[in-house]
Chains A and B, each alone.
Chain A
Amino acid sequence: AQSVTQLGSHVSVSEGALVLLRCNYSSSVPPYLFWYVQYPNQGLQLLLKYTSAATLVKGINGFEAEFKKSETSFHLTKPSAHMSDAAEYFCAVRFSGSARQLTFGSGTQLTVLP
């Protein structure tokens, strides 16, 4: 079955430290990949997307993600965490043949420590 796995339901980093949030998917065909952020009591906001162009994708708020086909991964990174980055992050995948629906991971809650 096609699935999306986010390793680590909670990640804590110090302000200014590297942020690394992991996402792996199960599919032999490279899908479309997305990262969303959800702040408390708000809707999901698109951070960035991979749609078969450059494998290193830059998004908003200084985030970027690299698609690695050999590892079936799409990890999200940011060089220096800011307090305002504290939120829940979701990796989402549109698998080939799944029409327009997205399959989401279970999310990673990012805490930024002062």
Chain B
Amino acid sequence: GAGVSQTPSNKVTEKGKYVELRCDPISGHTALYWYRQSLGQGPEFLIYFQGTGAADDSGLPNDRFFAVRPEGSVSTLKIQRTERGDSAVYLCASSLNPGQDNGYTFGSGTRLTVV
């Protein structure tokens, strides 16, 4: 597609539930990143994919968070047993290749609210 697409744009879930957030990167972009932006703060790195594999998952806060990219394009961020502290905007970004330092193209994000 023309840009990075994230769905849903908004998600409200109850504490303890499981959620999936989807990211559709720009066609042909091999690198994909997930960030989390809490209210009043800058985005924080979660995980980076190069192709199908997670090249760096050091930002995932705990084992309730998991992300996949099975075919090297669309990625899904999965959060188990959601907590109120997980409420944030989850941003996805992609870039043509990891060696390209042109910055990333970000999606508009998914606003997750855990009640």
Interface, chain A (partner B; CB < 8 A): 4, 6, 9, 32, 34, 36, 41-46, 49, 51, 90, 92, 94, 99-107
CB contact under 8 A between A104 and B44, given known A43-B91, A46-B102:
yes
CB of B92, distance to nearest CB on chain A (Å): 9
CB contact under 8 A between A46 and B43, given known A100-B48, A101-B33, A101-B48:
no
Stretch at the interface among B61-69, B73-81, B104-112: B104-112
A49 CA to B98 CA in the complex, in Å? 16
Which residues from B are CB-within-8-Å of A44?
A: 43, 91, 93, 106
Given contacts A43-B4, A102-B43, 11 further A-B contacts (CB under 8 A): A9-B40, A41-B108, A43-B106, A44-B91, A92-B103, A99-B48, A101-B45, A101-B59, A102-B45, A105-B42, A107-B41
Contacts across chains A and B counted by CB atoms under 8 Å: 67
B21 adjacent to chain A (CB < 8 Å): no
Q: Chain B interface: which size bin?
A: 20 to 34
Residue of B nearest to A107 (CB): B42
A6 CA to B41 CA in the complex, in Å? 11
CB of B6, distance to nearest CB on chain A (Å): 8
Taking a contact as CB atoms under 8 Å apart, the answer to whether A46 and B103 are in contact is: yes
Taking a contact as CB atoms under 8 Å apart, the answer to whether A43 and B107 are in contact is: yes
Taking a contact as CB atoms under 8 Å apart, the answer to whether A100 and B31 are in contact is: yes
B55 adjacent to chain A (CB < 8 Å): yes
Taking a contact as CB atoms under 8 Å apart, the answer to whether B108 and A104 are in contact is: no
CB of B111, distance to nearest CB on chain A (Å): 9
CB of A79, distance to nearest CB on chain B (Å): 23
CB contact under 8 A between A90 and B42, given known A43-B4, A101-B33, A101-B48:
yes
Which residues from B are CB-within-8-Å of A100?
A: 31, 33, 48, 55-56, 95, 98
